Amino acid sequence: MYKMAASRCFMSSFRVSRVLFLNFTLPFVAISAAHAAPVTLQNPSFEDTSGQFAYNEYTFGTPSGWTLYDPDNVVGDPDVYVGTLFPNGSDFFNTTAPDGDRVLLLFNSAQRGAGEYGFEQLTGEVLMTNTRYELSVDIGDIDSGTDVAGVVYNLEGFPGYRLQLLAGGQLVAEDHNTQAASLIEGEFSRVTLSVDIGASHALEGDAISLRLTSLNTIPENDVALGSPALEVDFDNVTLDATPLPEDVGIVNPSFEDPTGLTPYFEFGFGVPQGWSDYAENNVTMYSGVYQGHMLAAGNNFITNGATDGDYVAIAFNDVQKGGGAYGYQQLLGEALQLNTRYTLSVDVANPATGQSGSGQTMNLDEFPGYRIQLLAGDSVLGQDDNSMAIGEGGMLTTSVSVDIGATHPEEGAPLTIRLINLNQIPAGYTAETAPDLVVDFDNVRLQRQFLGQ
Ligand SMILES: [Ca+2]
Ligand SMILES: [Ca+2]
Ligand SMILES: [Ca+2]
Ligand SMILES: [Ca+2]
């Protein structure tokens, strides 16, 4: 049926094939932790005790770099202590401090249940979009014990904790005691609060602060525990900001737009909107070399149909076999940026022999090879040169990832994507005996991820 006359007059018979739409969720792209940028914090491990009152293994007062958070005026009672503890590895905790010598101490025996309190810190950073923030801290559930002065403390149970990430004083994300059940008496546990800020956020540009508190909740089994003092300890606070991948705009990335295409049964012939012709040896000038899109129904050339939407791009050839690679390219409205990872993903199909809507069976038994390229100016930044073995009727996702460093000769040059049918004659065939040589494409995506300076 592809053997249409060059004049492209249309057959009058019409038969619609059964249409199945199957969509696949593509796997989440893992974000490389290597690009996490730590946010500078003051006294994040509570080792700086300047300005505090030292007493045996304790210091009392507000740790340098931190600000008291005490909306209910819990702190100030003589039996509420905030400051630091030097765990010796046997009393109170089974280990020494997770980092350095000291940990933050929030101790309360006289204002139990009187309100949440703790410390907060304003960072020098502002909230950025397209960024993952990870606030991590070691949380200690202190056990009962005897201090250097010989005083015995009942510290059974745990009063709860809260970690908060704020911008402009407004809450961005919090961990409201979600890991309490996994904390162990006498141990520290590292807890991470993670939040992804997308392309927009109401608090973008506002100064980031973080807050660590004791919920100061009286345990349900308080009497059985002997009405213990309520204490939470913290150590080794870190805040990482990792740029998230952002989508780069592509016109008609899934080939759903029929604009400018000439319909013919499940096909639309022509160069899809947003894309332009790419051809070696002017191969696409020949009748019998078809570009366009195809309604990719399941069981019709592509077993599971289009992976995104209803249509795929076609690069079909039954007359110029081996005559030169061809396909599509798109010049993007995006210039090459330094210190950036670009990841180009394309679904590539090897259509199987099947019957078109016109009733004609097409022999597509082999595969002529594909090439996916990302260019800046005239330079190929990265490519997949036919690395995937795609079974007949199958469609697989390829990913081309390239890291651009601090300098690049094509900095500022516009990016181009190419989707190519290599048009290679399969082994064991000649140009005369080869089946029709077809590659299909769908779901083109390009992401950029800032790698840091
Ligand atoms: Ca420490
Ligand atoms: Ca405890
Ligand atoms: Ca599509
Ligand atoms: Ca095939």
Domains of the chain, by residue range, sit at 33-241, 247-450
Pairing of strands 354-355, 361-362: antiparallel
The secondary structure of residue 298, as a DSSP letter, is T
- Residue range 302-311: mean pLDDT, rounded: 95
**Which one is predicted more confidently, 18 or 111?**
111
For position 37, what pLDDT does the model report?
87
Q: Ligand 2 centre and the CA of 119: distance in Å?
A: 19
State the ligand closest to the CA atom of 137: 1
State the ligand closest to the CA atom of 272: 3
For position 383, what pLDDT does the model report?
98
Distance from C-alpha of 322 to C-alpha of 41, rounded to nearest angstrom: 62
Residues with Cβ within 8 Å of 384's Cβ and at least 6 positions away in sequence, in order, are 370, 371, 372, 398, 399, 400
For position 248, what pLDDT does the model report?
96
Closest listed residue to residue 158, CA positions, set 193, 119, 191, 185? 185
State the ligand closest to the CA atom of 351: 4
Q: Ligand 4 centre and the CA of 356: distance in Å?
A: 14
For position 25, what pLDDT does the model report?
33
Q: Ligand 3 centre and the CA of 52: distance in Å?
A: 64
Q: Ligand 1 centre and the CA of 64: distance in Å?
A: 13
State the ligand closest to the CA atom of 362: 4
Lowest mean pLDDT among 3-7, 99-103, 366-370: 3-7
pLDDT digits (tens, 9 = 90+) for 311-343: 999 999 999 999 999 999 999 999 999 999 999
Instruction: Indicate the pTM of the whole model.
Output: 0.72
Band of pLDDT at residue 278, cut at 50, 70 and 90? very high
CATH class label, 33-241: mainly beta
For position 34, what pLDDT does the model report?
44
Q: Ligand 3 centre and the CA of 65: distance in Å?
A: 54
Q: Could you tell me which residues are beta bridge partners of residue 188?
A: 140
Band of pLDDT at residue 445, cut at 50, 70 and 90? very high
Tokens of 323: 């005559």
For the chain, report the end-to-end CA distance as a whole number of angstroms: 55
What average pLDDT does the structure give for the chain?
92
Cβ atoms of 48 and 127 within 8 Å: the answer is no
For position 159, what pLDDT does the model report?
98
Q: Ligand 1 centre and the CA of 48: distance in Å?
A: 9
State the ligand closest to the CA atom of 140: 2
The secondary structure of residue 22, as a DSSP letter, is -
State the ligand closest to the CA atom of 350: 4
Q: Ligand 3 centre and the CA of 395: distance in Å?
A: 12
For position 7, what pLDDT does the model report?
31
Residue 224 pLDDT more than 70? yes
Q: Ligand 3 centre and the CA of 26: distance in Å?
A: 14
For position 452, what pLDDT does the model report?
78
Percent of the chain with pLDDT over 90: 89
Do domains 33-241 and 247-450 share one topology? The answer is: yes
31 burial via Cβ count (<10 Å: 0-12, 13-18, 19+) = middle
pLDDT digits (tens, 9 = 90+) for 151-208: 999 999 999 999 999 999 999 999 999 999 999 999 999 999 999 999 999 999 999 9
Q: Which fold has domain 247-450?
A: Jelly Rolls (2.60.120)
Q: Ligand 3 centre and the CA of 301: distance in Å?
A: 15
